[in-house]
Amino acid sequence: MEQKQENRRFETKAQMLVYFMKGSVRFFVFSVVYTLVVTLLDMVNPRIISFTVDSVISNKPSSLPPFIMNWLNSFGGTEYLKSHMGVIALTVITVALLRALFRYLWRLYNAKGAETVVETARNEVFHHLLYLPSSWHSSHHTGDIIQRCTSDVETIKMFLSEQLGSLFRIIPTLILAFVFMGRIHVKLMLVALVFLPLIVGYSLFFHKRIGSAFRKADEEEGKLSAIAQENLTGVRVVRAFGKEMYERNRFEEKNRTYTALWIHLMRLLASFWCSMDLLSGAQILLITSLGAVYAVHGELTAGEFIAFLAYNTMMIWPVRMLGRIIANLSKAGVAIDRLREIMNGEPEQDAPDAVEPDMSGDISFEHVNYVFENGTAEVLHDVSFTVKAGTTVGILGGTGSGKSTLMYLLDRIYPLNETDGTITIGGVDIQKIKASYLRSHIGMVLQEPYLFSRSLEENIRIASRSSDLREVREAAGIAALDETIEHFEDGYDTFVGERGVTLSGGQKQRTAIAQMLIRKPPIMVFDDSLSAVDAETDAKIRAALQENTGDATVFLIAHRITTLMHADQIIVMDRGVVAERGNHQELMELGGIYRKIFDLQMAGREVD
């Protein structure tokens, strides 16, 4: 059974981030535990070195906790260690190896957590995109959507794994470093502490500027991706009109803008990091100078001075990393907002009491009106007609008369407001029918069909995965495609390329017809889907359809009178209204629009 997208909203960035982290929390918990162990081990070796220099070599009183000294005294104390310095070296190596092991585990589980977040985020965003209405997709560039699903997700991953993950190491490291530094020399610790608010404040100063610059660069990257995607998809059109230089200049201009934005962002980041390095260097210089003075005056021992410098160096990395986190928080925030815009998009929803009725009943359009979103002129106005079940209805009309819109409304690709009329199938309002059920029972073949980068057989079977080759050949035969395929070297295994680029327009249309016929839906819509085939093939396909559509209700939208003239009912659309209705003979006798188009076409003239 098809899974529907839940209608949830994420009011804050944190809400969406927590949602994406489902399934990865355990990895991050293990990562935090291991990084805390690494942090504790980081504090051990400076204490060992300080103890060795002061107590083992210089015979000064030990500053180690009493329980550790009691344990050492049971082995002979400092005298034993003085004659067995290898024990100290082995201890330092053991601590270093343990630190390396837990650091590996920290990195491993951090990476697992981050990659799981990426997998979840991409799956959720892609799933949500599938259920967003066509109006949403029409207002967003495909290239920009792809960029959000790739680049923005990677930005979030880097923030989680490299920055936010490190935060759980930074805070304990800072606390422990300051505690150990305070135990050694309080005044020197306070000097080191003064630089912390300076670095954090400076980072916050750049936070907003970096975020604004990254948003502009990120949006521009989406536009650049959209141009590349459009040109690669429509490369034959570009070449056909000799627009290579125009498109190249257009791409290069957008690329220059994008590059300039990134250079501006890099300048901000370079200024930020250079200033951070300057502050960090000044802090190390000041601590080293003051520490040397205190050591000369006897306020610090040599071992304590060495340990203090080690802890100060440990502290510098977290402080600088804290600045990086604040700076990268801007980029991650922009990326999360861009994904949140997708996830907060309103998906298509069925009515709570949606049903799955019999789809073989009469189809009625009752006083249907339609205006495109942000549009002013009506596309359809007070359209009413009924199509008897199992009959064929032809729809004729000029460009923009609303022919295709009728079918998009029937399939609920376009939404129909309650005040704009009703469309019923077997007396049931389509708004009360489950969308997936409705669409699975309506087969649509468009004038410009979309084929996937797969074989011909896979494209035909795409809507009916359980169909075998015999059924595929049967559908292809009705669509007058079987003989054509037999002339291909690889037959039904022929790879059609992106959007069916290796096939002619007529071959693509016939493949789409076979793709729809293999489903055997009770309602079939042919939206000018024979426009790219010659008149002889058109007649052959129509004859085959008439014999093989069975009890299906068939909609034929076409510009050729010959395609429609044998339909049970013909509807003539003109500027969004039903101008004429009847069978071929009745419309000919009426002498209106239909008769004029018939006379023009029979005289060999081309009309829209």
CATH number at residue 169: 1.20.1560.10
Question: Which band of pLDDT confidence, cut at 50, 70 and 90, is reported for residue 300?
Answer: confident
For residue 472, what is the domain's CATH number? 3.40.50.300
In this structure, the answer to whether residues 319 and 362 fall within a common structural domain is: no
Question: Which band of pLDDT confidence, cut at 50, 70 and 90, is reported for residue 368?
Answer: very high
In this structure, the answer to whether residues 507 and 596 fall within a common structural domain is: no
Q: How many domains does the chain have?
A: 3
pLDDT higher than 80, residue 413: yes
Is residue 102 one of the residues assigned to a domain? no
Is residue 69 one of the residues assigned to a domain? no
Domain containing 308 equals 13-23+111-343
The conformation of residue 290, written as its DSSP 8-state character, comes to: H
Residue length, the chain?
608
pLDDT higher than 70, residue 397: yes
Is residue 352 one of the residues assigned to a domain? no
Cα gap 361→8, rounded to integer Å: 36
| pLDDT one-digit tens code per residue, 559-578 | 888 888 888 999 999 888 99
Domain end, chosen from 283, 318, 343, is at: 343
In this structure, the answer to whether residues 398 and 477 fall within a common structural domain is: no
CB 335 within 8 A of CB 122: no
In this structure, the answer to whether residues 160 and 237 fall within a common structural domain is: yes
In this structure, the answer to whether residues 371 and 493 fall within a common structural domain is: no
Q: Is 576 left (phi over 0), alpha (psi -120 to 50) or beta?
A: left
Is residue 100 one of the residues assigned to a domain? no
Domain end, chosen from 343, 373, 398, is at: 343
Is residue 179 one of the residues assigned to a domain? yes
In this structure, the answer to whether residues 221 and 254 fall within a common structural domain is: yes
In this structure, the answer to whether residues 457 and 422 fall within a common structural domain is: no
- Kindly report the number of other CB atoms within 10 A of residue 504's CB atom: 12
In this structure, the answer to whether residues 248 and 394 fall within a common structural domain is: no
Give the alpha-carbon dihedral of 521, 522, 526, 529, to 10 degrees. Answer: 30
pLDDT at 458: 84
In this structure, the answer to whether residues 378 and 337 fall within a common structural domain is: no
In this structure, the answer to whether residues 375 and 470 fall within a common structural domain is: no
Is residue 420 one of the residues assigned to a domain? yes
Is residue 260 one of the residues assigned to a domain? yes
In this structure, the answer to whether residues 558 and 586 fall within a common structural domain is: yes
- Residues 6 or more apart in contact with residue 147 via CB below 8 angstroms: 218, 221, 222, 225
- Residues 6 or more apart in contact with residue 50 via CB below 8 angstroms: 63, 301, 303, 304, 306, 307
pLDDT at 6: 59
- What do you get for the CA distance between the two ends of the chain, in Å? 43
Cα gap 366→481, rounded to integer Å: 38
- pTM greater than 0.85: no
Domain end, chosen from 313, 343, 373, is at: 343
pLDDT at 1: 42
In this structure, the answer to whether residues 368 and 475 fall within a common structural domain is: no
Higher pLDDT, 250 or 375: 250
Is residue 277 one of the residues assigned to a domain? yes
- Kindly report the number of other CB atoms within 10 A of residue 213's CB atom: 22
Q: What average pLDDT does the structure give for the chain?
A: 81
Name the residue type at position 340. Answer: R
